[in-house]
């Protein structure tokens, strides 16, 4: 394997990140969601980039609140530079001019990345997944997909679902026989939405709603549910901690958080260099070693060892059977669908 020092050298030279040309006074503020995820980013991205560039990186945390960013843009006092942001928020606020457009040639190109990673205003920072999870010690027969999730006779017991329209409408359509590639085309019609809700009606009495990502593995461990949707990273962590939980990857949904540069950033050039750095395969492999989110660099995904790849949404075998979340669809239709979902769930 080529060492990090030499593997990164061409890109460093291209972007002017070589130590000889680095300016120690360069600095920027990068903002994430905190917790274990940001600690992993610090080890794999923030510290190595600061060392390679000679720049100072200051970290901050937020909860994804767009109002705070909007105030910065509207007042012209942009105190942050790079933020981690969810896909639908990126799509919605890019159109509103809150983030800087990216010149993909200037940030290392998009060919190295998996589909949907390169957006007009954002570069995917990580890939999260939502899939069926179950306790392999409790089920003699492993479920294979959404048909089994909906089969209350073959697999009796409660079903855990996140309490929102997003994810559930896609899963319901796949359970009703819609191919993953056609899900958003069908969901874009009134008939398709009605079809998804009708499918959810079939298991509604058996649904146990979760609202926090920690709940599904806890419920499985306690035997409260037979199967549940869950964030794949949460199940990976539970398995690592000794619980024999597992995932069903066919029909899983994967989405991305993105790096975006706030409009008016005084350090936009440095921020673009950071994005280019974070897109490299070596850095992303280091990241996944720290936390089981999916890398966006194709080479990084291919280089994961088998015991790690099993839990990662963008490992080639898992990516091939998953559905990419359509951020633009949810940016356009999310409000109305969530309103209908909340009314349906309350009935």
Q: Residue 183: which residues within 8 A CB-CB, separation 6 or more?
A: 170, 173, 174, 323
| Residue 56, beta-bridge partner list | 27
What is the 8-class DSSP label of residue 91?
H
- Dump pLDDT digits (tens) for 329-344: 998 999 999 999 999 9
Question: Are the beta carbons of 260 and 83 closer than 8 angstroms?
Answer: yes
CB-CB contact of 170 with 193 (8 Å): no
pLDDT for 12 equals: 45
pLDDT at 182 (0 to 100): 98
Q: What is the pLDDT of residues 184-207, one digit of tens each?
A: 999 999 999 999 999 999 999 999
Residue 294 confidence (pLDDT): 92
Query: Does domain 4-127+255-319 bear CATH number 3.30.360.10?
Result: no
In what helix (H) or strand (E) does residue 197 lie, and over which residues does it extend?
A: helix 190-201
**C-alpha distances out from residue 163 to 140, 166, 203, 251, 346, Å:** 28, 9, 14, 19, 11
Residues of the chain by 3-state class (helix, strand, coil), percent to 5: 45, 20, 35
CATH number of 129-254+326-346: 3.40.190.10
For the stretch 275-301, pLDDT in tens is 999 999 999 999 998 888 999 999 998
**255 pairs with which residues across the strands?**
128
> Residue 298, by phi and psi: left (phi above 0), alpha (psi -120 to 50) or beta?
alpha
Q: What is the 3-state secondary structure (H, E, C) of 118-176?
A: ECCCEEEEEEEEEEEEEECCCCCCCCCCHHHHHCCCCCCCCEEEECCHHHHHHHHHHHC
For CATH 3.40.190.10, the residue range(s) in the chain are 4-127+255-319, 129-254+326-346
| 83-95 tens-digit pLDDT | 999 998 999 999 9
The pLDDT tens digits for 11-43 are 444 444 444 344 445 899 999 998 888 999 999
**Mean pLDDT in the chain?**
91
């Amino acid at each position: 394997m080529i060492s990090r020092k030499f593997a990164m050298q061409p890109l460093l030279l291209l972007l002017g990140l070589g130590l000889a040309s680095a300016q120690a006074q360069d600095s920027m503020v990068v903002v994430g969601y905190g917790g274990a995820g940001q600690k992993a980013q610090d080890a794999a991205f923030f510290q190595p980039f600061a060392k390679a560039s000679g720049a100072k990186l200051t970290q901050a945390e937020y909860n994804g609140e767009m109002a705070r960013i909007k105030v910065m843009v509207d007042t012209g006092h942009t105190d942050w530079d790079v933020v981690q942001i969810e896909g639908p928020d990126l799509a919605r606020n890019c159109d509103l001019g809150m983030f800087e457009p990216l010149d993909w040639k200037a940030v290392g190109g998009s060919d190295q990345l998996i589909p949907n990673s390169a957006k007009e205003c954002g570069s995917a920072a990580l890939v999260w997944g939502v899939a069926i999870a179950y306790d392999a010690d409790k089920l003699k027969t492993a479920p294979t997909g959404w048909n089994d999730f909906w089969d209350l006779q073959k697999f009796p017991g409660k079903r855990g679902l996140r309490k929102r329209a997003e994810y559930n409408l896609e899963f319901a359509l796949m359970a009703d026989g819609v191919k993953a590639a056609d899900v958003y085309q069908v969901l874009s019609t009134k008939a398709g939405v009605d079809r998804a809700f009708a499918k959810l009606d079939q298991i509604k009495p058996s649904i146990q709603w979760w609202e926090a990502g920690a709940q599904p593995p806890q419920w499985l461990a306690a035997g409260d549910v037979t199967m549940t949707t869950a964030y794949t990273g949460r199940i990976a962590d539970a398995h690592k901690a000794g619980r024999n939980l597992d995932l069903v990857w066919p029909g899983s949904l994967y989405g991305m958080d993105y790096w975006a540069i706030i409009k008016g950033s005084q350090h936009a050039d440095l921020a673009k260099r950071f994005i280019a750095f974070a897109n490299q395969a070596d850095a992303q492999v280091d990241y996944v070693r720290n936390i089981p989110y999916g890398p966006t660099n194709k080479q990084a995904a291919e280089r994961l060892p088998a015991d790690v790849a099993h839990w990662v949404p963008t490992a080639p075998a898992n990516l091939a059977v998953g559905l990419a979340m359509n951020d633009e669809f949810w940016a356009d239709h999310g409000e109305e669908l969530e309103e209908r979902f909340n009314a349906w769930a309350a009935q």
